[in-house]
Amino acid sequence: MQSKKEAKARIKINNLLTQSDWLLDDIDDIKANVILESGVDIKSIGDDFENISKGFIDYLLLDDKNFPLCVLEAKRESIHPLSAKEQARDYAKGQNCRFIILSNGISHYLWDIKISTPVQITEFPTQESLIHRQDYNPNIQDLASEKIVPEYLGQAKTLRYYQVEAIKAIQNSAQKENNRFLLEMATGTGKTTTAAAICKLFLKTGNATRILFLVDRIELEDQAIKAFKEIFKHDYFIDSYKNGNWNKQHIVVSTIQSLLAGNRYRDEFKPIDF
């Protein structure tokens, strides 16, 4: 029974890797970009994969130059994946990897050890998305020290005093190591303009590389895209998610309904696309 559980976990993890375009085996002249700890061959280990080394196995995911990119630690289904945090971190540091995936085939966590704690995910990131993420080096001090003045958005818009104070409140909160912020603003107080200034703050200081801006009506989607393009001109690329080239944009605008239809967001977005 135990070996069947171990096999199920391994099969699920292999399938999740394949679904995110990782290559477990060579295909023609394309080399596999997944290897196992100590060079163990994936094909040779059979189902009882947890008995290879001290009850666990590490997959090593490689970048496009065949350098270590991410450690994936697999546990049997009966073991919570977060129980392997410390041993996975030690192994990742030894391989000079910034990213860790912890999985038991059912629950999965992505850990960017440089900037955050493990975050639960529903699918594995692609090689491309992890490579893109390596360029993401947030600096809270840069965000907190960015000078916010009424002219922050240039000639396109002048921030009102309470909009400036709202953005400064985010800076103060970020300095306290918070990473979620909620602003409540009444109708007519300039929510879109405030949001544009917040987008600029995060993009300019390197604390975001791509932003998803969600609204609940098509009219608001059109309004936001028009306003952002007028404000940012050629500084940042902005487009609607439904136009299909969202991965080339700095700010992607969408209705919630567009992403939820058929669970499209699960198929099209990887955990670190935004």
pLDDT digits (tens, 9 = 90+) for 106-160: 999 999 998 878 988 888 999 988 988 887 778 889 999 999 999 999 988 999 9
Give the total number of structural domains in the chain: 3
Same domain, 169 and 216: no
Domain of residue 152 covers 138-206
pLDDT given for residue 63 in this prediction: 93
**Is the pLDDT at 47 greater than 70, yes or no?**
no
pLDDT given for residue 189 in this prediction: 94
Cα 24 off chain centre by: 23
**Is the pLDDT at 54 greater than 60, yes or no?**
no
Q: Are 210 and 250 in contact (CB under 8 A)?
A: yes
Q: Give the pLDDT mean for 198-221.
A: 93
Which CATH number do you get for residue 14?
A: 3.90.1570.30
**pLDDT tens per residue, range 88-99:** 999 899 889 999
**pLDDT tens per residue, range 128-142:** 889 888 877 788 899
Q: Are 93 and 255 in contact (CB under 8 A)?
A: no
In whole angstroms, what is the distance from residue 151 CA to residue 181 CA? 23
Same domain, 49 and 144: no
- Among the residues of the chain, which ranges form H helices? 2-19, 85-94, 127-134, 140-145, 161-175, 191-204, 218-232, 256-260, 264-268
- Please state the pTM of the whole predicted model: 0.67
Same domain, 109 and 20: yes
Same domain, 153 and 245: no
Same domain, 188 and 273: no
Same domain, 165 and 181: yes
Give pairs for 177-184: CB < 8 Å, separation 24+.
177/140, 179/116
Same domain, 36 and 80: yes
Same domain, 188 and 225: no
Same domain, 23 and 95: yes
Same domain, 201 and 221: no
